[in-house]
Chains A and B, each alone.
Chain A
Amino acid sequence: MLPSGVFNRRPQQDMAIIRTRAQWLLLAGGLVFLVTLGLYAPGHWMNWLILVGVYAIATLGMHIMTGLCGQFSMGQAAFMALGAYTTAYLGTRYGVSPWLTLPLSGLVAGLGGLVFGIPALRIKGFYLVLATIAAQFIIIWAIKQQTWLGGTYGIRDMDKLSIGGVEVAGATAEFWWLTLGLVVIMLFIAKNIQRTTTGRKFVAVRDNDLAAEVMGINLFRTKLLAFFIGCFFAGIAGWLWAHNLRAVQPELFSFQLSLWFLGMIIVGGVGSTSGAVMGAVAIMLVDKAGPSLSTAVQDAFPSLKYQVSGAVSLIMFAVVVIFFLLIEPKGLYHRLERIKLYYRLNPFAY
């Protein structure tokens, strides 16, 4: 619902993502804030910001697969691993330029997604979830077996990224700007996929795939495309993470990380693009508070075992997601919309 006094006079206005001048101003202000954040944020926050960016891209992929097309995946981290290993291996072994491996990483992850998405034609629900869990375990296991991928040790000492002679690596402002740029591009792509024929096909398949098929949508192609796009995003996220750490190892891409992505889209709101990013930020904010809480817990109960931080982060994540499932099942995005609506209609109730 539009604010009072604002009308769509042309079809372009109705279609625009950013509709009003206030939204443009907010967007510009937000971007300026995020860009300048790179200049004064302390080191650990910089690390955090970059990680949020990486996770946000992977979560956007989950959003397209799960939120739009309804194909549940619990193997997103493994597809990230495919992307990360592609760039790490090609870069260290053959010296391929990282900018060339950026689309390649996405493609390799997307192809992996296609392979494991094939069962999706005939199965859904629990069965599909289990097939993607299988993808997670099989991919990570296969990576660990290959000596040329470094086994469990992984690949270390990747070359630093450089843009026009400027080195971009580690928790620096330059890397944050690169991350921010990628997130904005991927967000834009994801938002636009949602508005195209493909996106509407995805939604039709999600809501009722039999009905969608009767309407003439090619189910196999649509589901596979959703898997491809979702895993492509994961590959890009993997590329970014690999270049941030300049090393990859199988332990990074755990089953738990896949579940984190699922938690992020639930917290953000299933089926909303900006919700995916909000979910990533919210979950990571909670996670950021983990260490201080775990030291508090450790001080309070010194008899506890030594792995308190891991346990506390697990429990906090679980509590946040359970809270959203019970109290706010439509997620942060929905709550934001409600708040906006309230202020637009104020002082009337409807």
Chain B
Amino acid sequence: MDAVLAQGFLNGGVYALIALGFILVFKSSGVLNLAHGQAVAVLSYFLYYMLVVWGLPAWLGIVLIIPLGAVLGVLMERLAVRPLLGQPFLSVLMMTLMVSFLLEGVRILFWGADSFTLPFTPRQGQGWLGTVLPDWINPSSALAFAVAMLVFVLLTLLFRYTKVGLSMRVVAADHEVAQSLGIREKRVFSISWALSGAFAAMCGILVGMVFTVTPIMGSTVLGKGLPVLLLGGLNSIPGAVVGGIIIGLAEALGSHWFSAAKEVVPWIVMLVILLIRPYGLFGEKRIERI
């Protein structure tokens, strides 16, 4: 039971990391980027390609893939989302979905149904991380959890203290106010999408280590990330972490008692929360006026 709970808790960290990628974009531009899942998958496939076909060392691959992710994020924003500024929300949502279809199509074209394990995945009983941890903890999950917590702290600091983070919050709150303060909105969008793309690359590395890289990776990322996102609230960073851990634990317990339920437990938890607290645990409740 301890092992089940520990694994659930650590997986929760990974889910939080996935959800943070969505929140980063939503917090600054108000777009729910459904292409995030496939971006993660494409980037981790590309990482594998660089490591195995080009024979790059692991550290160089990781150093290269993160800026590539940022470039992908900026490209998505410039080519797909920016032309739709001011359009109804269905259009923007549909656009991110179609971008995700494009990415998935490209991934299938080049890599088909291949699946593999990233070569630098830490294993039980091997290497420093594998020997320090007790044997009922999966070292790659532990690593992913640690990275997720680090990123969470960094993001909190970013949104609270830095000029970039503050300007992102202003843009999300009110476009006119942001413009009158002299904030260049378009640049803020680009920065947040670039950050989110870099996030996708990082998620690709960590999710690839924890769950291995498979053709269903994109939909797994989406399927875990969205419930966490909703549970915590669409624009709350601590919400993502708490939500991630709740979903991770619920999923671990659910699949412990009823093994077939693993994939739907997150969705059921999410629906229940939606009925009780429609804007998530930490989300801002929007007050609407006519």
A25 within 8 A of B: no
Q: In the assembly, what is the distance between CA of A142 and CA of B99, in Å?
A: 30
Output the nearest chain B residue to A256 by Cβ-Cβ distance: B101
Contacts of B223 in A (CB 8 A): 137
If A137-B263, A318-B102 touch, whether A72 touches B109 (CB-CB below 8 Å) is no
Give the interface segment out of B142-150, B192-200, B265-273: B265-273
For A240-282 the 0/1 string (1 means CB < 8 A from B) is: 0000000000000001000100110010001000000000000
Most central of A123, A263, A314 by chain B CB within 10 Å: A314
Q: Do A266 and B94 touch (CB < 8 A)?
A: yes
B133 within 8 A of A: no
Give the interface segment out of B57-65, B110-118, B245-253: B110-118
Output the nearest chain A residue to B80 by Cβ-Cβ distance: A322
If A127-B274, A311-B108, A321-B98 touch, whether A66 touches B290 (CB-CB below 8 Å) is no
Q: Do A329 and B290 touch (CB < 8 A)?
A: no
Q: Select A130's contact among B89, B230, B289, beta carbons within 8 Å.
A: B230
Output the nearest chain B residue to A74 by Cβ-Cβ distance: B97
A6 within 8 A of B: no
Q: Do B267 and A325 touch (CB < 8 A)?
A: no
Q: Select B275's contact among A72, A119, A210, beta carbons within 8 Å.
A: A119
Q: Do A314 and B274 touch (CB < 8 A)?
A: no
Q: In the assembly, what is the distance between CA of A93 and CA of B289, in Å?
A: 53
Q: Give B194 Cβ to nearest chain A Cβ, in Å.
A: 21
Q: Select B108's contact among A210, A310, A322, beta carbons within 8 Å.
A: A310
Q: Select B95's contact among A66, A255, A325, beta carbons within 8 Å.
A: A325
Q: How many residues of A contact B (CB 8 A)?
A: 47
Q: Give B21 Cβ to nearest chain A Cβ, in Å.
A: 15
Q: In the assembly, what is the distance between CA of A305 and CA of B264, in Å?
A: 31
Q: Do B278 and A119 touch (CB < 8 A)?
A: yes
Contacts of A134 in B (CB 8 A): 227, 267-268, 270-271
A48 within 8 A of B: no
Contacts of B32 in A (CB 8 A): 126, 129
B91 within 8 A of A: yes
Q: Do B113 and A322 touch (CB < 8 A)?
A: no
Q: Select A308's contact among B98, B109, B226, B278, beta carbons within 8 Å.
A: B109
- Residues A204-219 near B (CB distance < 8 A): 208, 210-211, 214
A to B CB contacts below 8 Å, 26 in the list: A66-B90, A118-B275, A119-B274, A122-B274, A123-B274, A126-B93, A127-B230, A127-B234, A127-B279, A130-B274, A133-B226, A134-B227, A138-B264, A142-B264, A266-B94, A270-B90, A304-B109, A305-B111, A307-B113, A314-B104, A315-B105, A315-B106, A321-B98, A325-B91, A325-B94, A326-B83
Known: A126-B89, A318-B99. 4 other contacts (CB 8 A): A123-B279, A314-B102, A318-B98, A326-B84
Interface residues in chain A, defined as those with a beta carbon under 8 Å from any beta carbon in chain B: 66, 72, 118-119, 122-123, 125-127, 129-131, 133-134, 137-138, 141-142, 145, 208, 210-211, 214, 255, 259, 262-263, 266, 270, 304-308, 310-312, 314-315, 317-319, 321-322, 325-326, 329
